Structure 1
Amino acid sequence: MRFINWLLHKCIVGLLGVVQKFLSVPTQTLFAGAGSSGQLARHMVAMGHQRILLVTDQILVDLGMAENIRKSVEEAGGELFVYCGVLPDPTTAIVEEGLAYYRTQRCDSILALGGGSSIDAAKGIAASATNGPVQSLVGILKIRQALAPLYAIPTTSGTGSEATFAAVISDAETHRKGFLADMKLIPLGVALDPLLLTGMPQGVTAATGADALTHAIETYIGRWSNDEVRRLSGTATRLLFDHLPRVYRNGQDVQSREAVSLASYYAGQAINHASVGMVHAIAHQFGGLYGTPHGVANAIVLPHVLDCYVKHSPEALAELAAVIGVGRSSQTDHERASAFVQATRDLLAQLGLATRLESFPTSDIPAVANDSMAECRQYPVPHWVSRAELETILDKIAV
């Protein structure tokens, strides 16, 4: 059975790798720094977008963020229409409601404001505006026509959705998550405005930061990594180790907020080229079964998976040790990889993140292992983890 799983993994990843090489990643217009959200809004009007739909949630409207965007749009001569019905884990019903409002107001473009949920909802609306019902677009490369012009302003630093080619939309009736993957889903322009991030709660800062860190590490060490991926994810890793503890201690640190948002963005860009890995395969099961926030699940799983990779493929982890300045050049790859994993554990501990999942009983290990291995077949992991290795990892997480 292990050989069959390994062979399936090799075939699927090999085929996806060939397809990935022929996909062109669009270039985005990036605005970064204090006030960049206003710059992006004015840029949209300058690009000819006169009736902009803002896709966001009620909380950000209540905080006045939508009104600030409105002022920038109107000063530039455009109009802003606000759809604030986004909820966590957006559904097909939310996409349909947003699309109806987009059409009723005769909008010509879409601007997402919020975390991953708002950006994913905006992607769904933009795609279905030109391609039909979002349910028909679930899958890989199902989007035939260019989206309605789409832009994004993230208000968290972790998902990287503002840079990636993917979106997750749940079916409103079955609640099954639908995964959309197409390079057309990458927004045309992005603003990374640290002034919108200073009010992020400490726990959200930690969890989303762990999500970005997992993206950076998994893309760096994966089999599809290349020079460009290592540049992006290496920079993201260094920025997160340098600045994430600072923003966790002081959320008003604008310079470090900007650095962490750039790290999340770079790691998201790396995903477009290199995908993710085993950590995500396991973390997704915890989210689906127990409702564990994705960043929290990644933080719990990450060190244990890296421990396994130290034994079997330490070279890339040893390179990351040099990136963050731990270990010594005289040490072996194994020793430097171990130093990096220990530094990762120390960072996650500084962020107050859990090391075990209290809602995960040992009796669920077989089912979680089955589903994790099935999902992992599509990821270019540096080492194919055996069923025994995976169950050992899960046993360290369960209670």
Structure 2
Amino acid sequence: MNYYMPTQFYLENNCIKNHQKELNQCGKKALIVTGKHSSKMNGSLDDLTESLTIPYVIFDEIEENPTLDICEKGAEIGKKEHVDFVIGLGGGSSMDAAKAIALLIKNEQEDKTCFYQKKELDYVDVICIPTTCGTGSEVTSKAVLMNPSEHKKGSISHDIWPKYAFVDGKYLAYASHELIANTAIDALCHLIESHLNTKATDLSHMISGYGLQKFKTIKDSLLTHEYNYNELMLVSSIAGMAIAQTGTTIPHALSYDLTCFYNISHGQACGIYIVSYLRVGIEQNDQDAKDVLKYLGFSDIDSFDEWIHKLIKKPKIEDHEFLKNSILKNEAKLRTSKICIKSAEIHKIIEESLD
């Protein structure tokens, strides 16, 4: 059994300002990696810059599904400015990009081609500050990037752990209901996919099981919009801690094509498949799949289906064969599921999930 989690994690009100000392001890000059708008609107960028007593540079060109090219560009700016650590501020896109940028800053001889190469590379320190409630990137070593030229999306080959995670739910007050729902569904998929993963252990089940039970306490708020923001963030980070030990499985693998080819947001794309995936496990009489429903407080799979489709809608996609063939070629990802997933199950999941 193995467990590794090197990130120092804090979740509290006014978290950034409370940990100003740790923030400023990470280096002599910071690169802040963020998007163009949300961190400015929700006040997180102001909180961060007001807490920094050292020089910093802002790279605010990160959009949803960051590309290899934008990470390379950010790293070039970081190297030119002689920064020695990186702060990812925003959703999963900003935090994942910050990790990739930290890798290139440390390894000046490398370019974007190294992201998917198996080689030992170090990275400068990374701090992650999430402002959405789904990614979990602040407590994982993974970074998911997009390669538009090849229509591919996936985790890079390097483990890049944040040194610190500063988490504060107050920034969610500025997020739309749709964003909160989509990112919370992503966290839910993390918990379920970790729980039903071949790499799951007693320790990872402790995390994912607790996270699923915590999700039960917030699931109604996603429909009523009466949020407890710190609870949403806590569930998201717990879900990140779960997949940090196991990785994700089939719904995430299926989701990437929906994002790459149909521009469906990541959380929604994962949620589209999660009910049918869990249904396969229930039909196979898998106890862990049954436990997922119990932990979430659903009496059966149909009530779970009804709840989730109040939050996300099935897309109308006709080319099912392309989606089926794409995932069936990914034998490594198929092996991550403790639920028996073969061609027939993939066909069932896709057909049930898409109109």
Secondary structure of the 2:57 match is: strand
Q: 1:97 aligns with which of 59, 73, 84?
A: 73
**What amino acid does structure 1 have at the position aligned with 2:32?**
L
Q: 1:51 aligns with which of 29, 45, 49?
A: 29
1:1-399 aligned at under 5 Å gives the runs 25-45=4-24, 47-63=25-41, 64-74=43-53, 78-131=54-107, 132-139=109-116, 141-142=118-119, 144-171=120-147, 174=150, 176-177=152-153, 179-183=155-159, 185-246=160-221, 249-250=224-225, 253=227, 256-326=228-298, 339=300, 341-350=301-310, 352-354=311-313, 356-358=314-316, 360-361=317-318, 364-375=319-330, 377-378=332-333, 379-399=335-355
The one-letter amino acid of 1:225's match is A
The TM-score normalised by the length of structure 1 is: 0.81
* Equivalent pair of 2:100/2:115 in contact (CA under 8 Å): no
Cα contact 2:286–2:339 (8 A) shared by 1? no
State the distance in 1 between where 2:78 and 2:307 align: 43
Q: Is the 8 A contact 2:69 2:112 kept in 1?
A: no
Amino acid at match of 1:377: A
Secondary structure of the corresponding residue to residue 162 of structure 1: helix
Q: 1:37 to 1:326 in 2, by over 3 A?
A: same
Q: Against the structure 1 CA distance between its residues 383 and 151, is the aligned structure 2 distance closer, same or farther, given a 3 Å change threshold?
A: same
The alpha-carbon deviation at position 228 of structure 1 amounts to 1.3
Question: 1:394, CA displacement in angstroms?
Answer: 2.0
- Give the drift of 1:343: 4.4
Aligned to 1:16: none
Q: Is the 8 A contact 1:296 1:353 kept in 2?
A: yes
Q: In structure 2, the residue corresponding to 1:166 is in which secondary structure?
A: coil
Give the length in aligned residue pairs: 352
Listed as ranges, the gaps of 5+ residues in structure 1 are 1-20, 328-338
RMSD of aligned Cα (Å):
2.3
Structure 1, 87-96 or 302-311: larger mean CA deviation: 87-96
TM-superposition CA deviations, 1:355-380 (whole Å, max 9, x none): x222x11xx22221111122253342
Structure 2: which amino acid aligns with 1:43? E
Q: Tell me, what secondary structure is at the counterpart of 1:198?
A: helix
Rg larger in 1 or in 2? 1
Q: TM-score, normalised by structure 2?
A: 0.91
Q: Give the structure 2 partner of residue 10 of structure 1.
A: none
* Contact 1:209/1:240 (8 A) holds in 2: no
| 8 A contact 1:57–1:85 mirrored in 2 | yes
What residue identity is the alignment partner of 2:312? L
Q: Shift in Å at residue 178 of structure 1?
A: 5.5
Percent identity of equivalent pairs? 21
Structure 1 SS opposite 2:86: strand
Question: Over residues 301-338 of structure 1, what are the superposed CA-to-partner deviations in whole Å (9 max), with x where a residue is unaligned?
Answer: 111111111111420022234434455xxxxxxxxxxx
What SS does the aligned partner of 1:241 have?
Answer: helix
Find the counterpart in structure 2 of residue 18 from structure 1: none
**CA deviation string 1:50-79 (max 9, x = no partner):** 3111111110354243222111113xxx23
One-letter code of the match for 1:391? H
| Secondary structure, counterpart of 1:181 in structure 2 | coil
Partners in 2 of 1:176 and 1:346 — Cα distance? 31
Q: CA deviation at 1:244?
A: 3.7
- CA distance in structure 2 between the partners assigned to 1:119 and 1:308 by the alignment: 33
C-alpha change, 1:169 and 1:134, in structure 2 (3 Å) is farther
Distance 1:56 1:286 in 2: 24
Local SS of the residue matching 1:317: helix
Tell me how far apart the structure 1 counterparts of residues 306 and 131 of structure 2 sit (CA, whole Å): 26
Question: What is the deviation of 1:172?
Answer: 6.5
CA spacing shift, 1:61–1:366, aligned 2, 3 Å: closer
Question: Whole-Å Cα distance in 1 between the matches of residues 330 and 20 of structure 2?
Answer: 38
